[in-house]
Amino acid sequence: MNEITSRFLPPEDAQRRELHNEVHARPSARVSLPALIVYVAVLNEGVSREQELAHLQLLPGHADLTLDRLQGNFLRLRCDHYTVKWERHTEFTRYSIVQTLPAHAGWGTELPELATHVAPGTDWLRGLPGQTMAAIHMGMLAADLDQEGLISTAQAWLGEGALLASRMGNTTEGGPHSCILTHFRIGADGFERMLVLAPETTTKARAGRISQRLLEMETYRLMALRGLPVAKNLSAMLSTAEAQLADITGLLERKGQTDQALLDLLVSLAARIERATAEHGFRFSATRAYDTLVSQRLAELRERPISGTQTLGEFMQRRLSPAMATVQATEKRLASLAERVSRTSALLRTRVDIATEAQNQMLLEKLTKGQALQLRLQSTVEGLSIAAISYYVVSLVLYGAKALNKLGLPFSPEVLAGLSIPFVLLGTWKTVQKIHARIHRD
């Protein structure tokens, strides 16, 4: 994108335009009543943009579609009598096909078979790259919301099953602007069915926003529920790990095994928990995010009940909330178990440290005793050394005196040597003391 500068502003940040335009990244469709929306959301793990591009190129008139147009994660393609909207998200890709229904497909008449009105054809839908997560046929018709028999007439098209229905819109703004009816059941063709009724005066923009909120709500509901099987599968592992941690704590208390054996057990348990956290942490976080989005979309619908039926919000509260509570409880249980393992490891480290300090103390006592014994031995050796050195010095004096006597000096060599003994001993002792003083000073 070329950098746009203004003579009134400093240079722009490189991401300013991209971040600013994010609010316009996924505009709502403009739907003209009566209309049929065929919506499919597929998991895109392992599916590249190139694969999605190749499939979009199969649409009539779009064989020259390039990969550059798919970099923004949103694309609307216009075909004859219908539009196809492509949206790529982190975990899934959504395809929305919006087409105008025949004029006779109004409220109060028998709706035509939807399969004959899937504009690109069933082969194109079946070939979508990825795995189906959500598939919905949404009929949007013009109707009088105050007329009698809404439920019974809608039941004939939606099929068997208890209907959920609600009026949407704030009464302070002149009454509800539309009505939604569905039963959240997957039909024999693999699609759910939703029916939206709105006055003939409903604008294309409002009809588009209504459809987007409902389709997103159902998609995010299913994506949020992907955390439930994970939570159920983790339950057995967490129970086993909690029992094992209790056993390890008991052994730690009773000192039933060596510290090394307990450490090995704790390391193995901690590794198992960390692996589970690493593998499923993203799924738990995504579940919380999707659940929040479902709540937001329900709030945006501003539902009001229709006598004799449940609203979508009530249905979600009864069915989705327990599942989300289970996921949340499992996530907290996993985090709590990791924390307890950490505390147990800290206790074991404390015990090992105390044992190590006791061993060090015993070793220091042995070293101290050894040093004292060595000092006594050294003192004994020094005494013997003084005597030995003095003996050699006196011997030297004796030899010197004998030599002088031979030269004619009148004295006895033995007497002179005997008289020198005290002086030699004293000199040798003083010399040793000086050496000790110099060593301690250094």
**What's phi and psi for 283, nearest 5 deg?**
-65, -40
187 neighbors 159 (Cβ within 8 angstroms): yes
**Consecutive 10-residue averages of pLDDT for the chain (442 residues):** 67 78 72 89 94 92 90 87 90 92 56 54 86 92 73 76 83 70 88 89 90 94 94 91 85 72 83 90 93 92 86 87 93 90 79 74 80 72 74 81 78 78 81 76 68
> Would you state the pLDDT for residue 70?
87
Residue 28 is encoded by which pair of tokens?
A: 């709502």
Task: Classify 98 as helix, strand or coil.
Answer: strand
97 bridge partner residues: 38, 84
Structure tokens at 344: 């147990």
CB 97 within 8 A of CB 119: yes
Query: Out of 2.60.40, 4.10.860, 1.20.58, 1.10.287, which CATH number does the structure's domain 227-362 have?
Result: 1.20.58
The pLDDT, as a whole number, for residue 2 is 47
Q: What is 266-284 written as a DSSP string? A: HHHHHHHHHHHHHHHHHHH
User: Which residues are registered as beta bridge partners of 86?
Assistant: 75, 95
Predicted pLDDT at 218? 94
Cα–Cα nearest to 38, from 94, 105, 88, 77: 94
CA distance 375 to 170: 98
Q: What is the pLDDT of residue 47?
A: 94
Angle between helices 312-406 and 204-225 (to 10 degrees): 50
**The CA-based dihedral angle spanning residues 208, 214, 217, 223, taken in that order and rounded to the nearest 10 degrees:** -90
pLDDT of residue 188: 84
> How far is the C-alpha of 40 from the C-alpha of 18, rounded, in Å?
28
- pLDDT at residue number 106: 53
Q: Work out whether strand 74-79 and strand 82-88 pair parallel, antiparallel, or are unpaired.
A: antiparallel
- Letter for the amino acid at 90? T
pLDDT given for residue 118 in this prediction = 58
List the structure tokens of 201.
């005066």
